[in-house]
Chains A and B, each alone.
Chain A
Amino acid sequence: MPPKLPEFSNSVKLKHVKLGYQYLVNHFLTLLLVPVILGLLVQLLQLGPHEILNLWNNLHFDLIQILCSSFLIVFVTALYFMSKPRLVYLVDYACFKPPVALRVPFSTFMEHSRIILSSEPKSVDFQMKILERSGLGEETSLPPAIHYIPPNPTMEASRQEAELVIFSAMDLLLNKTGLKPKDVDILIVNCSLFSPTPSLSAMVINKYKMRGNVKSFNLSGMGCSAGLISIDLARDLLQVYPKSNAVVVSTEIITPNYYQGKERSMLVPNCLFRMGGAAILLSNRGSDRRRAKYRLLRVVRTHKGADDTAYRCVFEQEDPQGKVGILLSKDLMAIAGEALKSNITTLGPLVLPASEQLLFLVTLIGRKVFNAKWKPYIPDFKLAFEHFCIHAGGRAVIDELQRNLQLSAEHVEASRMTLHRFGNTSSSSLWYELSYIEAKGRMKKGDRVWQIAFGSGFKCNSAVWKCNKTIETPVVDGPWFDCVDRYPVDIPEVVKH
């Protein structure tokens, strides 16, 4: 039909134009230099070998001149290598796989809810609605204390959960990497809502009998993006300490924070947060270069805390009955969008290819100088990264980011499937997602991964990794080993019950 054809051919033409433009701009230098070099080469060849030898012999060099220039060259080279930031490698990581008895099917969760909140049928209905639309599956897990009717969150139970999650992940990591606990130089543990004395990092040091001079840090209260904050901290420390390694443990302990009241805005975390944890080994040793899985390229941290609305949008407080819970405000999505924009504005110039940056710059100048009505150009991040790990904070978060960054379903598949299988495991969800991509056999050498996480405060942090070696399937020691074949599943809008 006449009207359709021009559109189609238009879009094809546009695609070709775009591809051509990208190739041109991204390989600009190459395209510039190659003809120049060719020209020189042609000139040289025209001269003939005799002439070249004559030229060479005519160059008189003093001994001093030679010495000085070689010193200079060596000095500059040394300066360059010393000031280069140390490369940080991710040797390997391990994710905690909850025992099957801790599984929480929908119907069990709803029954418990109905029994515990028997006087508040509206709250129960609300929880049911949230759960149905949450994108969670039937195999997510809650810690033992929460399985009781009513839940039994004691300090003892919280510590037991911490021990179960952290020690399992650490054991798996030590096994995978062959690392000896006495060789750990830096230990960083992040767990937002459970912060006992002594700290969880002390608990790890005690269990594994680590060295007396291990540099240990315990980050608490920093929300779901604390995982990337820990990675950033580890990277900074690895710049200071040569030939060291760092173990980062990211987890969220749910037992003490299960909301036991009835305010609807505080019941949402109960429906979404689930047990999970990950342990990561980072290193700046050259010897680990060969066996490392990834190399850390960038970490970008953005904090919107200066804005009051952003600061209060995820707030822990007491409800009118005195029960402590986390209040999620209604502007959460809007603020997340803003934080994301901030973050990618900083990240973009560091990772985007020149073609996208040029376009973005041109549109920006155009909007400022010529006409404010020009549509802002959203750079195509798919050109910068092969894989995306979006923190599985909830279905809405993933939908929002997919829309904003114009990602396809396959790009966000890792996030959605992690949300389905493991729920929102807070700071460790990025590692489950990375594990999913590996389990599916999609991770090849040279692929770049973008991990992006949001957290209370309001923070948006990103990390960019480059794959160092192709990951072979099947991945037998990952959390997806027994179920990756069942994925991807189709997650309905509303789960029928």
Chain B
Amino acid sequence: MSENRSRVTVHSKLTWVSSKPLGGKPHELSALDHAMALHTVHVIFYYRANPFERGLFDSDFSLSDLLCMYPPVMGRLARGDGGNWVVKCNDAGVRTLRASVGTTLDEWLRSADASEERDLTVWEDMPGDPIGCPALVFEGLMGTWLDELAIAMLGGRMGLSYVGSGAGAWIGRMDAVLGGRMDAVLVGRRGAVLVMLNEFEGGGLAIGLSCPHMLADPTCATLFFKSWTETNRGEPVCHPPIYHLPALNARRSLSTGINSIKYLETKSKSAESPSGKMATATFRLSHSIIKQCLAQIHDECPDATPFDLLAALFWIRIMRLKMPRHDQKHSLSICVDVRKPIHGPIPYGYFGNALHFSLLSMDAELLDTAGLGHVAGAVHRHVADLHEEELLSAMNWFESRKGENGQYAQPFMMYGPELTCISMEHMITPEGSTCESSMYEAAFRKGEEPVHMTYRIGNVEGEGLIMVMPSPEAGLARTVTVTLSEEQLAELCEDQAIMDLQPTMLLGGKM
């Protein structure tokens, strides 16, 4: 619970609907979607000019037209027959909140920290909590303090979040007591996607999009947002959504990807590790610096991408900060999106989860002593070896964990407990493709590109999270967001190797 008064005040809430009625069969979620059930995705785009200043109902209703293509976004999550999650395409709409921020955009980017940034989207840390409408969930069933909490949230202090896993366990017990009737109560009422428009003083707008990780991963949430901006500009949508991929459902023999499966098994059995207070910092690295560094490691790793370089660099520096344990292996969990822009069984427009988690381990000693180039090389080889088949065998493994009645097994933490590194390299426009895929092309009006964007993943536990994302500056420039425990992050921000890269610090809080 944030003790400080938040600078964000929510002043209205409404529901945005598509221009045509959408019906249709429930949208089924895949095995991988079910596996991500404990997390949420939050994407925030910052703009210098506010395209919605005349008010939502006075603008072009581009969101209404766009939503016609996204029936699951308009729908609600519910347990279908057989107990698995489905999205009931009941046309209920996207809950949209409007808030105002008591400061200017530049001031915010300079001084806000991660916990304040959370206020720009709607957060529910509880696993499986119905996002955005707690009051209606409890429908007089529980009354008392939860209703008050709900009323307080609706009243505008959106900085609140439920107290960790305590309430989650309570809900779990209630569910058991009611004999699973809880879901019957909650059926059809879990919000899918929520949009929050935050207006800064002096112009400037931050649009926050949140959704359960079950429904969409960061890539397709970004593509949804991009399609919105394309519709607003009157251009055709670059990557229309594709909902069903027969390739994903096909059964294959578990011959490849043994490593990933072993890793997933270990993850599923690992106990929940309590994490201390985490903090986040954002480092923006320019094109020239990255180019320089890549040139430096060119001998050892000629094909290194900026991701390889930065993942290696931050891994080494973070490992140095922790208690050096020379007898053990250090692991880095690498999360890669398997969508391919041009060809492949999982196209760019696939709406759902297409993330693959794999483990890269190195001896502590080697990590300490070997150069940046060597580690970058290891990362590069690891990433290059990943194919769709690995993801498909991971899917198979999840499928195989189904119970007798076809219900998927309980989800576990996918991000963590090791240090996790997320790659967004697939969002950089490759040569030869016709569509711009970079998120920094998402301009509502020509010439008004976003100045910054943030990704947050809800419910991440463990050692920390590193995200390597594109920058507004094109080319090799990257923005790295690091989430670590507070002390480690403070040390990292003063680390010499990182400072040598002359990063621009954003959203570092009032340091």
Contact = CB atoms under 8 A, between A and B. Distances in A.
A320 interface: no
Contacts of B63: 101
B394 interface: no
B92 A111 contact: yes
A103 B17 contact: yes
Contact of A105 (B12, B13, B21, B188): B21
A133 interface: no
Contacts of A106: 91
A114 B189 contact: yes
A241 to B, nearest CB: 40
A108 B147 CA distance: 21
A100 interface: yes
Contacts of B17: 101, 103-105, 108
B139 interface: yes
Contacts of A121: 139-140
B21 A108 contact: no
Nearest to A139: B21
Nearest to B138: A118
Contact of A115 (B16, B76, B135): B135
A119 B148 CA distance: 12
Nearest to A112: B15
Interface string B1-45: 000000000001111111111000000000000000000000000
A118 B135 contact: yes
Contacts of B16: 101
B90 interface: yes
Given A100-B19, A114-B189, A148-B12, A108 B136 contact: no
A268 B20 CA distance: 25
A451 to B, nearest CB: 29
A470 B363 CA distance: 88
Nearest to A118: B135
B92 A148 contact: no
Contact of B91 (A107, A114, A148, A152): A107
A111 B19 contact: no
A497 B139 contact: no
A409 B411 CA distance: 54
B12 A152 contact: yes
Interface string B126-149: 000000010110011000000100
B14 A147 contact: yes
Contacts of B12: 148, 152
B332 to A, nearest CB: 43
B57 interface: yes
A155 interface: no
B70 interface: no
A311 B441 CA distance: 63
Contacts of A488: none
Nearest to B133: A115
Nearest to A152: B12
A138 interface: yes
A383 interface: no
B189 A111 contact: yes
A149 interface: yes
A118 B457 CA distance: 31
B314 interface: no
A372 B366 CA distance: 111
B195 to A, nearest CB: 14
Contacts of B472: none
Interface string A79-111: 000000000000000000001111111111001
B93 interface: yes
Contact of B64 (A100, A118, A119, A147): A100
A348 interface: no
B21 to A, nearest CB: 4
Given A101-B57, A102-B57, A114-B136, A108 B92 contact: yes
Given A105-B91, A111-B92, A118 B19 contact: no
Nearest to A147: B14
Contacts of B14: 147-149
Contacts of A118: 135-136, 139-140, 147
Most buried by B among A99, A148, A149: A149
Given A104-B17, A149-B13, A497 B136 contact: no
Contacts of A105: 17, 21, 90-93
A366 interface: no
A181 interface: no
Contacts of B136: 111, 114-115, 118
A108 B93 CA distance: 6
A496 to B, nearest CB: 11
B139 A148 contact: no
Contacts of A148: 12-14
Contacts of B76: 107
Most buried by B among A104, A106, A107, A138: A107
A147 B140 CA distance: 24
Contacts of B56: 101
A139 B64 CA distance: 13
Contacts of B15: 108, 111-112, 147, 149
Interface in B105-137: 133, 135-136
A497 B76 CA distance: 13
A207 B111 CA distance: 48
A390 B47 CA distance: 52
Given A101-B61, A118-B135, A107 B140 contact: no
Contacts of B135: 115, 118
Most buried by B among A103, A115, A144, A152: A115
Interface in B331-364: none
A100 B61 contact: yes
A102 B188 CA distance: 22
B74 to A, nearest CB: 9
A149 to B, nearest CB: 5
Nearest to B55: A144
Nearest to B23: A138
Most buried by A among B13, B16, B57, B188: B57
A119 B147 CA distance: 10
Most buried by A among B136, B139, B147: B136
A99 B61 contact: yes
Nearest to A146: B14
Nearest to A113: B136
Contact of A138 (B13, B21, B61, B133): B21
B480 to A, nearest CB: 38
A121 B15 CA distance: 21
Nearest to B90: A107
Contacts of B90: 105, 107, 497
A152 to B, nearest CB: 7
B64 A101 contact: yes
A99 B16 CA distance: 13
Interface of A: 99-108, 111-112, 114-115, 118-119, 121, 137-139, 144, 147-149, 152, 497
15 contacts: A101-B16, A101-B63, A103-B18, A103-B64, A105-B93, A108-B15, A111-B15, A111-B189, A114-B189, A115-B136, A118-B135, A121-B139, A148-B13, A149-B15, A497-B90
Given A101-B61, A108-B91, A118-B147, 4 more contacts: A103-B18, A105-B93, A111-B15, A144-B57
Q: Which 4 A-B pairs give the minimum distances between C-beta atoms? A: A100-B19, A107-B92, A138-B21, A105-B91
